[in-house]
């Protein structure tokens, strides 16, 4: 089945700097990779996703890149703001053993210092 590794587990940046979070996956059949943001005490919310037929997707200050050959994908946040502080989870859809379920990384706690 799918295995998703996420790094780093914690990330602290200064307001205005960029933040990058990386995930690797094991199942070459995976074709869908969402990113969720979870603020303290709130529900995980989808912020961006990418499918395997594209290498990059942008939405304002957020971008995701996918390298299918290396089986890794990354979240890029530019011009970070204090409200970007949250835990970010990556996920990959597993077609190997769990019929298309999402397998999540352990999360990255991002702190943006004003």
Q: Name the nearest CA neighbour of 75 among 42, 31, 107.
A: 107
**Interstrand relation of 108-113 and 62-67 (parallel, antiparallel or unpaired):** unpaired
CB closer to another protein out of 77 and 102: 102
| Chain residues that interact with another protein, rule: CB under 8 A | 4, 32, 34, 36, 42-46, 49, 89, 91, 93, 98-107
CB of 36 to another protein, least distance (A): 8
47's enclosing H/E stretch is: strand 45-51
CB of 94 to another protein, least distance (A): 10
Query: Distance between CA atoms of 90 and 60, rounded to whole angstroms?
Result: 19
CB of 43 to another protein, least distance (A): 4
CB closer to another protein out of 40 and 70: 40
φ/ψ of residue 82, rounded to 5: -55, -35
CB of 74 to another protein, least distance (A): 18
CB closer to another protein out of 43 and 83: 43
Q: Name the nearest CA neighbour of 80 among 113, 50, 43.
A: 113
């Amino acid at each position: 089945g799918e295995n998703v590794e996420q790094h780093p587990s914690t990330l602290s940046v200064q307001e205005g700097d960029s933040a990058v979070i990386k995930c690797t996956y094991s199942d070459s059949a995976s074709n869908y990779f969402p990113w969720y943001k979870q603020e303290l005490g709130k529900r995980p919310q989808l912020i961006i996703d990418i499918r395997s037929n594209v290498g990059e997707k942008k939405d304002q200050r957020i971008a995701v890149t996918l390298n299918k050959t290396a089986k890794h994908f990354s979240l890029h946040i530019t011009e970070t703001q204090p409200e970007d502080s949250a835990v970010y989870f990556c996920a990959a859809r597993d077609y190997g053993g769990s019929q298309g379920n999402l397998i999540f990384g352990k999360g990255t706690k991002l702190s943006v210092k004003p």
